[in-house]
Amino acid sequence: MTSLKNDQLLKLFSLASLKMPEFVSENDVNTALVEIEKKILSINSDKTEIELLGAPSVLIVDDLELTIHQLSLLLGKSGYNVSVARTVIDAVDLFKKRHYDYVLIDLFIPNPEDGFGLLSELYSLDKSKDNQSKFIVISGTDDKKLIKDCFLKGANEFISKSSNWHIDILRYISLLEKQKKGCNEEILSCVEDESGKIVSIHIINLHKESVLLELDKEIKFWTHSGYFNIIIDLENIYTINSKGIAALIACYKIISENKGKVVLCSVKHSVNEVLSYVFLHNVLKIFANKEEAITALRSSKVK
């Protein structure tokens, strides 16, 4: 027999894409966990070695499969290289073997003294300071003393397990990544409507490889953060080449796969001609300015 409740078992087998047996044994649970692990590992299997080499690395330390699944899926799809440790011993072993930019520690693994002990041990290592590793503690506790102790023992951030806790983690890590690289003034994002989940992305240059890569990351970040209505503002774009067109197509694909909508605004005549030549003007709806695009998205007039 297993100690998991029925609703937990249903969720577990659903994540594993398996039919739940009428009488669930420990072996059945282990089989489901193995299937979930395969799914998690497959997130990074489609990436090239070069992509993985340059991707920021994240170590998730947690003993709850649902948390592991949610974070691994979200961070993996957002371009991060993810590893998982389910015990304190495994976490220390992995951290000593590899470089990690970010370490996410569930405070209760299974008890707060375990989380505190791990945080203190990893933070005290010379490797942590040399690599400038960031430690993020995640927990459902609202105990102010426990939260304060996390920072005293080396945590860079404490994120409460609220309804959007996994999105908060993604936003925090993304912010730190942007700070490390310096603000890219050629791509500026802005939340235009929180309730309507509308974001505008203003692009200054579509010819630089670095800008195209940043645009791809920006689109993934917003869609994985729950913002599925994206406006790409091309006000400052006067010419567009094949790579720029490919970038817009990639944006459309990512957002469409997430059941979202992407539109263009402030498109110059010269750019519109190129888009028309490759029939993109029929795929990406174009508005005269950002205000018109926001109004259309709010009223769901974009097909």
Q: What is the pLDDT of residues 112-123, one digit of tens each?
A: 899 999 999 999
Q: Are 85 and 59 in contact (CB under 8 A)?
A: yes
What are the angstrom distances between the C-alpha of 262 and each of 22, 185, 217, 269? 45, 22, 15, 20
Interacting residues of 126 by C-beta distance below 8 A, sequence separation 6+: none
* Cα 116 to chain centroid, rounded: 26
pLDDT value of position 47: 47
What CATH superfamily is the domain 47-180?
Answer: Response regulator (3.40.50.2300)
Cα dihedral value 90, 92, 97, 103, nearest 10: 100
What CATH superfamily is the domain 185-298?
Answer: STAS domain (3.30.750.24)
DSSP classification of residue 285: E
pLDDT value of position 91: 95
User: Is the confidence at residue 48, as pLDDT, over 80?
Assistant: no
Prediction pTM value: 0.60
* Residue among 281, 263, 262, 261 at smallest CA distance from 271: 281
> Which sequence spans correspond to the domains of the chain?
47-180, 185-298
CB atoms inside a 10 Å sphere around CB 277: 10
**pLDDT tens digits along 76-85:** 888 889 999 9
User: Is the confidence at residue 254, as pLDDT, over 80?
Assistant: yes
pLDDT, mean of residues 174-198: 81
Most distant CA atoms of the chain, gap in Å:
68
Q: Are 212 and 247 in contact (CB under 8 A)?
A: yes
- Residues of 83-99 as b/e, b for ≥16 C-beta within 10 angstroms? bbbbebeebbebbeeee
**Above pLDDT 70, what percent of the chain?**
88
Per-residue pLDDT band for 49 (boundaries 50, 70, 90) equals very low
**pLDDT tens digits along 19-30:** 888 888 877 877
| Torsion 127-146-75-14 (CA) sign | positive
pLDDT value of position 4: 66
DSSP classification of residue 56: P
Task: Give CA–CA dist 60/49, Å, rounded.
Answer: 21
pLDDT, mean of residues 270-282: 78
pLDDT value of position 1: 47
Q: Are 99 and 58 in contact (CB under 8 A)?
A: no
pLDDT value of position 124: 93
Q: Is 51 helix (H, G, I), strand (E, B) or coil?
A: helix
